[in-house]
Structure 1
Amino acid sequence: MKKKFLFISFIALFMLILAACGEKKAVEEEYSTDTPKEEEVTQTKEESTNENGTRTIEYLGESYEVPEKVERIVVTGAMEAMEDMVVLDVHPVGAIAIGGKFPELYASVTDKAESIGEKIKPNFEKILELNPDVILGSTKFPEEVQSKLEKIAPTILVSHISTNWESNLNLLAELTGKQADAEKILSTYKADIEAAKSTLTEKLQDQKVAAIRIRGGQAYVYPKEVFLNAVLYGELGLAVPNEVAKAKSQEAISVEQLADMNPDYLFVQFSTDENADAPNALEDFKKNPIIQNITAFKNDRVFVNVLDPLMEGGPAYSRIKFLEAIQQNLVK
């Protein structure tokens, strides 16, 4: 009887071990089912290091060891990095797909790239297959995603905070040896900002300029240093509306609140991808009688999608294109 009890206990323990292993595997695969094997990752990293040697670069107070010569870059999650690649003409070997394809916005640099999954779900097996020298991820990534990427190649999480836009551009420039290009881009942009500021200061005195984004059928405003606001208020020095000054993050604004703000110029960003459940939100917004009484609407000073809706607003490419739109529409 005792032997039978021991045998049953052994079987039960064995089943518990199997169940625990299965649960662990399920957790590991929750984010992706294509995590590469440890030995494959180790071999790939060793081969890359042996061929190139390494160097250390600094980015936002952190040190990163990367190959001496970086030629194969994979971008996953970091839309900011994709915009920087456009202005620096850097062509990644792997890039973010949206809806299964590369956006036209990045067409100039994705000619040699392969898809490594969607923005929020990297395909780790595909990234490993591409044998990158460096992976550019996003600071929005959870720790477990970062850990998996670091096992494949040196990984740098690119900041999604708009105030770090110059550091982001200089990071990509240092990785690819395009420091002179980045310096020229930054100096030209800053000169253009000063030129626009001198023109706009007098023209827009006592005028309200605002930018909103429609998501999920709802209009939102952002803090004064976020999204397009960083250019309007931070760099051009335009007056900050109270509703923007009070915003702590992305905050919903009702049509009544927007009417109280009563901007003289209004920039509206709308993407169908962000309004899948409210495809007519933009038209409904423009037809609203309260909205039609706003000064910007009365004077035909509402500008919709002056930037591609996929643009982040903070990176160099967004700023350059937004400044062009400001000069075309406000400096008249």
Structure 2
Amino acid sequence: MKHSYKIMAILFLTLTVVMLSACGSVSDKGSDKSSKGEDNKDGVTIKHDGGETKIAKDPKRVVALEFSFVDALAALDVKPVGVADDGKKDRILEPIRKKIGDYKSVGARKQPNLEEISNQKPDVIIADSNRHKGIQKDLEKIAPTIMLPSFDSDYKDNLEAFKTIAKAVGKEDKGKDRLKEHNELMDKYSNEITMDKSQPVLASVVAKSGLLAHPENTYVGELLKELGFDNALNKTKTDNLSKYLKGPYLQLNAEVLSDINPGRMFIMADKGENDPNLKKQEEDPVWQDLDAVKNNRVSVVDRNTWARARGIISSEEIAKQLAEISKNEQKDSQQK
């Protein structure tokens, strides 16, 4: 009889241990679910060029260190508290300035002011993976930081960066709607650009150092390709040309420009047709002998819009300008 009691006691003890283990297992699983639920509820983990960063849900205070990021925020109806604007607010395109309202300048894009960034008490910082790689750790000490391409990005890179920014600021649905609107607008403008797109086109900034060309792997270069243009730099080897600030932009001398001999040029200038750097360029005999110049197919465009902004709003402005240039060329040809 005692033996039977011992067996029952052992069985009871074994059953108790099993039940406690099961309860513990359920508790642990419940804890895991709770943890994942908090992650979804309280924030999001963003994958970017600098790694992975956890950002609180719907950050209210955003600092942007490149104009393309400001463009993205404006398109998402998010007003940044700080912008690296080179101390020149007019470098931000007017339609974007209207959307973002007042903000605090946090210095130059090349070298932003860390103290001023910190003073804005940001919830998230959006930095350039090229220009700001060296200060990533300093930025992360101030606030969660995501590193995205801008200075050396192309058009498609920018669209992907826009999606990342939309997710980071809790505006994914808004971002999808805005990209759909963007694509529809670009298709519309593309159809309205009636100029001869088969003419080899050269897009370049005119600066003190000469012409800084934008080949296909740049923002404007790829954007023009998407709109159906043929890039003149496809017809020459560019590997040995000097690059500007380690970016994809190429410095052209008179000899290379003559070899390229573009059929059309878009010249990005700070001061329009009266830009002193452009006037100096026009004095070069090589310039006067280019097909684009001889056939009156040189358009001087705003450098801020074409070269510095690099965003979906600015690209819509570029496409709109190209459609307007087409209309003007049609009028001129009809009057002749």
Give the TM-score, by structure 1 length.
0.71
Counterpart of 1:237 (choices 228, 237, 242) is 228
Matches within 5 A, 1:239-278: 239-242=230-233, 246-248=237-239, 249-271=248-270
Deviation at 1:101, TM superposition (A): 5.0
Any residues of structure 2 matched to 1:297-316 within 5 Å, and which?
297-306=293-302, 308=304, 311-312=307-308, 314-316=310-312
The reply to whether residue 295 of structure 1 matches residue 284 of structure 2 is no
CA displacement at 1:151 relative to structure 2: 1.0
The alignment of Structure 1 onto Structure 2 pairs a total of residues equal to 273
2:61 counterpart residue number: 72
Tell me which residue corresponds to 1:322: 318
Structure 2 unaligned runs (5+)? 1-37, 240-247, 331-336
Q: In the alignment, which residue of structure 1 is the partner of 2:141?
A: 151
CA distance in 2, matches of 1:267, 1:211: 5
* Distance 1:158-1:143 versus aligned 2 partners, 3 A rule: closer
Q: Distance in 2 between matches of 1:313 and 1:130?
A: 23
- Kindly tell me: are residues 136 and 107 of structure 1, through their superposed partners in 2, closer, same or farther at Cα, counting changes over 3 Å? same
Unmatched segments (≥5 aa) in structure 1: 1-48, 273-278
Paired position in structure 1 for 2:277: 281
Report the Cα offset of residue 65 of structure 1: 0.5
One-letter identity of the residue aligned with 2:201? V
Taking a change above 3 Å as real, the CA distance of residues 136 and 244 of structure 1, as seen in their structure-2 partners, is farther
In 1: Cα distance, 2:309 partner to 2:90 partner: 19
List per-residue Cα deviations over 1:60-107 (Å, max 9, x = no partner): 69432101121110123x222122223333211111132465635252
* Cα drift, residue 231 of structure 1: 1.4
Residue 204 of structure 1 is matched in structure 2 by 196
**Distance in 1 (alpha carbons) for counterparts of 2:306 and 2:293:** 25
Indicate the structure (1 or 2) with the bigger Cα radius of gyration.
Answer: 2
- What residue in structure 2 maps to residue 133 of structure 1? 123
Report the equivalent of 1:226: 218
Q: State the partner residue of 1:170.
A: 163
Contact 1:224–1:244, Cα closer than 8 Å, also in 2: no
Asked whether the equivalents of residues 72 and 133 of structure 1 are also in contact (C-alpha less than 8 Å), the reply is: yes
**Amino acid corresponding to residue 263 of structure 1 in structure 2:** P
Q: Deviations over 1:27-59 (max 9, x none)?
A: xxxxxxxxxxxxxxxxxxxxxx9xx94332344
Alignment correspondent of 2:73? 85
Equivalent residue number for residue 34 of structure 2: none
Cα offset for 1:327? 1.4
Q: Contact 2:215–2:221 (CA<8 Å) still a contact in 1? A: yes
Cα separation, 2, equivalents of 1:311 and 1:238: 17
**AA of the residue aligned to 2:108:** E
Q: Which residue identity does 2:55 align to in structure 1?
A: V
Change (3 A) 1:286 1:85: farther
In terms of fraction of residues, the more helix-rich structure is 2
Cα pair 1:135 1:154 within 8 Å, conserved: yes
2:83 to 88, 95, 118: 95
Percentage of identical aligned residues: 23
1:152-174 CA-to-partner distances (Å, cap 9, x unmatched) read: 11011121222311121112222
Larger mean Cα displacement after TM superposition, 172-181 or 147-156: 172-181
Specify the code of the residue in structure 1 equivalent to 2:183: K
1:84 partner letter: A
| Contact kept in structure 1, 2:50 and 2:146, CA below 8 Å | no
- Aligned-pair Cα RMSD in Å: 3.1
Asked whether the equivalents of residues 95 and 115 of structure 1 are also in contact (C-alpha less than 8 Å), the reply is: yes
Task: Flag as ranges the 4+ runs of structure 1 deviating above 6 A.
Answer: none
The 1:176–1:270 alpha-carbon spacing in structure 2 relative to 1, beyond 3 Å, is same
Q: Deviations over 1:187-242 (max 9, x none)?
A: 23323444555566x86264222211122231122331213111122x12332324
Change (3 A) 1:313 1:294: farther
Paired amino acid for 2:59: V
Normalised by the length of structure 2, the TM-score is 0.70
Distance 1:266 1:243, change over 3 A: same
